[in-house]
Amino acid sequence: MTAVPRAVCLLSGGLDSTTCLALARRDGFACYALSFDYGQRHRIELEAAASVAKALGAAGHQVVHIDLRTFGQSALTSDIPVPKGRPDAEMAAEIPVTYVPARNTIFLSFALAWAEVLGAADIFTGVNALDYSGYPDCRPEYIEAFERMANLATKAGVTGQTRLRIRTPLIELTKADIVRLAVELRLDLSLTHSCYDPDPAGRPCGQCDSCLLRKKGFAEAGVADPLAR
Amino acid sequence: MTAVPRAVCLLSGGLDSTTCLALARRDGFACYALSFDYGQRHRIELEAAASVAKALGAAGHQVVHIDLRTFGQSALTSDIPVPKGRPDAEMAAEIPVTYVPARNTIFLSFALAWAEVLGAADIFTGVNALDYSGYPDCRPEYIEAFERMANLATKAGVTGQTRLRIRTPLIELTKADIVRLAVELRLDLSLTHSCYDPDPAGRPCGQCDSCLLRKKGFAEAGVADPLAR
């Protein structure tokens, strides 16, 4: 009997990370979902992550508490208003105020630590370089550089027992492609959560970058979003 | 008037990170010291870091709380006994049980976040590749790979405004060299703390890898350690 390979899967509970986790499971991995409580303004994201991890049969789910507010200066972790109604061209051209410094680097570093403990050679992240809202740490050249560093950082990499891989199955897809893929995988997208600025009941605002990208994706895929009001 | 350049300095409160912070200050940086409360078995390390930051006139000092025990499996964060009395050859040949998975990667990732917020282009770490107790993430090739990744990860790196540098002034020095340097810089080494397994009063055990390396360094430099019993 061959042991089932393990993978650490970054999971925010959004459309992208949910689809990414489902792909890892489809590819035969025992998935260990990893979420972060990093002082984001809404906890509904963590509830969505927990529901998704359960629904997709994750072998484990950890929430790591870190305080990125210490370093401040993002609309996702402070009182800076989340921008609403930004046109596509503006999203593509600028790094927005919702950018959290070094966030993906910190998230992937914790994933690396867990992967090493689990003996997992694969880390999945749903980063996306096309409809990516202008974050520098979502680009393929960044991911490749992280992977290279990771293989020098760890016991597993040094002894050559394991070659760590940062897997980004969504990196070249449009949001519409991701929606189509999620439908193909029969995912329950009502469990997911994408909004940067939900109302007190947890409903999406419909106007932040993340809501606009999601809306465009569903529209282009010709699929109804179960979260749409 | 030229603005004083800022640097983030990783500070455990040990001999190496203390000397490294002093070098950054000597080189004209306004130093922002960064320490971690990561579930290590003793808090005296954090008290040492606070004393050192104050004594060396750091412009700021932050302690980030993270729970590396979630991922477990190190003698520094669990109940595994800290090895005592290991000979040099063994230290050099094996990655020890005191290794915390991906620790330096996580620490440097937080430093990167803070550097970006501060507009600092320099991150100092006291890692040491010679008397380094066998950790993979203390080697120059690892540091270079992290620096490369960091410059792709951040807004500053992408816009080309700032080239981030991971500075490791101690990386090629022996412990004896570091002790000599600390003496030259007139550092108060009674404030530092190196032991992995101090007694309840905070006194060093004298037998763990870290104590043995420190002892050897002071002996070879012909200097008395103010912490020696």
Range of the domain at A174: 6-221
B150 lies in some domain: yes
Min distance B171 CA to chain A CA atoms (Å): 16
Overall number of domains in chain B: 1
Is the confidence at residue B10, as pLDDT, over 90?
yes
A34 within a domain of the structure (yes/no): yes
Is B145–A149 a contact, with Cβ atoms under 8 angstroms apart?
yes
Q: Is A15 inside a domain boundary?
A: yes
Task: Return the closest-CA partner of residue B106 out of A107, A139, A115, A101.
Answer: A107
This complex has an ipTM of 0.86
Integer-rounded Cα Rg, in Å, for chain A is 17
- Per the structure block, which two tokens stand in for A80? 């800076």
Find the CB nearest B117 among A64, A101, A104.
A101
State the average pLDDT over residues B163-172.
95
Pick from A65, A109, A146: which is nearest to B67 by CB? A65
Which CATH number covers residue B159? 3.40.50.620
In angstroms, the CA B32 to CA B111 distance is: 10
Instruction: Examine residue B228 and state whether it is found in any structural domain, yes or no.
Output: no
Q: How confident is the model at residue B87 (pLDDT cuts 50, 70, 90)?
A: low
Over its C-alpha atoms, chain B yields an Rg (Å, rounded) of 17
Rounded (10°) CA dihedral A73, B121, A102, A39: -30
Task: Examine residue B227 and state whether it is found in any structural domain, yes or no.
Answer: no
Residue A131 lies in a domain: yes
Rounded to a whole number, what is the distance in Å from the CA of B120 to chain A's nearest CA? Answer: 13
Check if the beta carbon of residue B21 is closer than 8 Å to that of residue B124. Answer: yes
CA dihedral B179, B189, B96, A111 (to 10 degrees): -110
Higher pLDDT, B162 or A33: A33
User: In this structure, how many other beta carbons lie within 10 angstroms of the beta carbon of residue A153?
Assistant: 30
pLDDT for the residue A208: 86
* Average pLDDT score over residue span A48-57: 96
Rounded to a whole number, what is the distance in angstroms from the first to the last CA of chain A? Answer: 49
A228 is a domain residue: no
